[in-house]
Each structure stands twice: as structure tokens, then as C-alpha cells.
Structure 1
Amino acid sequence: MELREIGEDNREAVLALRVAPGQRRFVESVRRSLADAAAHPEANPWFRAVHAGGEPVGFVMLSWDVAPRPPEIIGPWFLWRLLIDERHQGRGYGAATVRRVADLIREHGATELLTSYVAAEDGPAGFYARLGFTPTGDLDVNGEVIVRLPL
């Protein structure tokens, strides 16, 4: 598994990545994520395609070492989006991506990684808990639970 910049060689394949229909309420599409990144440069977006076996299997986007301005901008290191294509789920790519991102930002001086999720019975809370994230006690502007992974 590797993180690659999105360019002409992989853009269309990355834009075609989709989560399962029941997961769409938990994560935005890649196209919407890239539009959000362009619309919010103050969040210092950093994004990559997740590749495995030479093909894109997912997408990850962070707020990279940003000055926090709660409630709109959480940081300094915030996992803004994580999407693994429905055809590639269940193979450990999501967990491997979070671990790779954690290693990468630790190398850049981060002491914690934050993210948020929709609190729902079939939501991603268990995924993040298995990776070591714990709730901060705060909610973001959309009412999502903010969680922290100490690095």
C-alpha cells in the first residue's frame, strides 16, 4: 500500500472510487473532497490516492499542520477524509492508510491525529477505536464526534 499524488495518470480512477451505498452518509465522494479542498485553502488540505497492487483503492485527505480555528478548522493534524472503495474494503487498506498517515505526520512533528465521525450504530466508531482513537469529548460543527490518536 502506498500514498500517491493525484495526477493525470490516476485522476479518473481515483474519482471513480465509491463506498458502499450504506456508507455514503458517513463519507463524501472524492470529487466532493477535492472541491472542499479547493474551497478551503485555509485548512491546508493535503490529499493522496491510496494505491495497492498498482491501482487506486482509496483516498485520504488531511488538514496538514494547520493553525486550529475551532469550530471550523480542527487541527493542527486532522484526518478530514478517508475513503476505501467498496470493492477493496475488508482487506486492511483503511487501517494501513491511517497508520501510514500517522507515521508520516509524526515525522513532521505531530503529537496527535484528530478526526471526526458520525455517531451511528452502523458508523465508523469501532474502526477508529480499534486503531486507538479515543473521544475528546467535543463535537465538530456538524455534530460529529471528535476523536484523538496520540502519536
Structure 2
Amino acid sequence: MAELRLEELSASNIVAANALSLKPGQEQFITPVSYSAAAAVNDPATTWQRVVTDGDDVVGFVMGSFDANAEHEEFTSILWRINVDADDQGRGIGTFAVQALADEARARGKARLFVIWEQGELGPEAFFVRSGFKPIGETQYGETIGALDL
């Protein structure tokens, strides 16, 4: 594995980011209902989007948001989306991306980074817990709210 790097999402890498594949069954966990509801009012100026590259290859995508004016605490510093290509999962790419977003949150003076996930056998809960997120509550839709203390 070459050295992992972050690059801003741009016209030159968005096609590769959109082409990231998932393992069977993972697609149902990509966008919890809470994310879709919040996205309707999410300010693009507060969004932090990066691709993870390994050499010249895009192997992952991470999207966070930092919105001091968010109505709900969990949306003030949140991991909105993380995708790692199916063939590259298990290589530490997701952990790298979460750590980069946590570093950005810290640099912005945030004390916590949040994430929301849906329960399910093939869902992301084990990954988020391994990454240091602790379940702290539920959304109105029954999804888990996790927090990573920074």
C-alpha cells in the first residue's frame, strides 16, 4: 500500500469517487433517513469533502460537516458519509479517513465528532465502534447516534 493521502473532492476526482464499489448488502446503509432529512437544509459552505487516494487510485471518500448553527447538536460536527471501495476495505482506509475528519474537527475547536448509523447485520456499527465512536442516543427514526470525544 502506498501512502494514503487526502484530496479535496474536485472535478478531476469526482468520477472515481462516484465509481467506488460496495460489498453486497452495504448499499442499504449508505444514507440513513436522518441524513436525507438534514441534507435538505445543509449548507454547502459547511461541508468538508475529501477523497482518499492510494498512489494515483481513489480508494475512499469521506464527507463531514461543521455547522455551528445546526438545529441539533449531532449536526454541528458530523461524519456524513464514508465509502471505501469494496476491494480496499479492511486496509485501514476508513480509519485513516475518520482520523482525518477528527483532526479537522479538532482544528476547528470541536470537542466531539458525531455519526449516525442504522442497525443491521452488514451495517457500519462495528466499524464506527472500532473507530472510537460510542452510542449516545437515537434519532427520531430509531437510528443510532454515535459520538467520538476529541
**Structure 2: which amino acid aligns with 1:2?**
R
**How many correspondences in the alignment?**
141
- 1:140 is aligned to 139
Alignment of 1:44-123 (within 5 A): 44-70=46-72, 74-123=74-123
- Structure-2 separation of matches of 1:41 and 1:127: 25
- Structure-1 separation of matches of 2:20 and 2:68: 27
Report the 3-state secondary structure (helix = DSSP H, G, I; strand = E; otherwise coil) of the residue aligned with 1:25. Answer: helix
Deviations 1:17-68 (A, max 9, x none): 121121001114xxxx9xx96x544373221111122211111111223323
**Structure 2: which amino acid aligns with 1:145?**
T
- Structure-1 separation of matches of 2:78 and 2:42: 14
After TM superposition, the score normalised by the length of structure 2 is 0.83
- 1:6 is aligned to 9
- Structure-2 separation of matches of 1:8 and 1:148: 32
- 1:15 is aligned to 18
Structure 1: which 5+ residue stretches go unaligned?
A: none
Report the 3-state secondary structure (helix = DSSP H, G, I; strand = E; otherwise coil) of the residue aligned with 1:22. Answer: coil
After superposition, the Cα gap between the structure-2 partners of 1:143 and 1:15, relative to the gap in structure 1 and judged at 3 Å, is same
**Structure 1: which amino acid aligns with 2:93?**
Y
- Structure-1 separation of matches of 2:143 and 2:18: 25
Structure 2: which 5+ residue stretches go unaligned?
A: none
- Structure-1 separation of matches of 2:110 and 2:130: 20
**1:135 Cα deviation after fit:** 0.9
**Structure 1: which amino acid aligns with 2:99?**
R
**1:141 Cα deviation after fit:** 4.1
After TM superposition, the score normalised by the length of structure 1 is 0.82
Over aligned residue pairs, what C-alpha RMSD do you find? 2.2
Report the 3-state secondary structure (helix = DSSP H, G, I; strand = E; otherwise coil) of the residue aligned with 1:87. Answer: helix
- Structure-1 separation of matches of 2:123 and 2:131: 15
**1:140 Cα deviation after fit:** 2.3
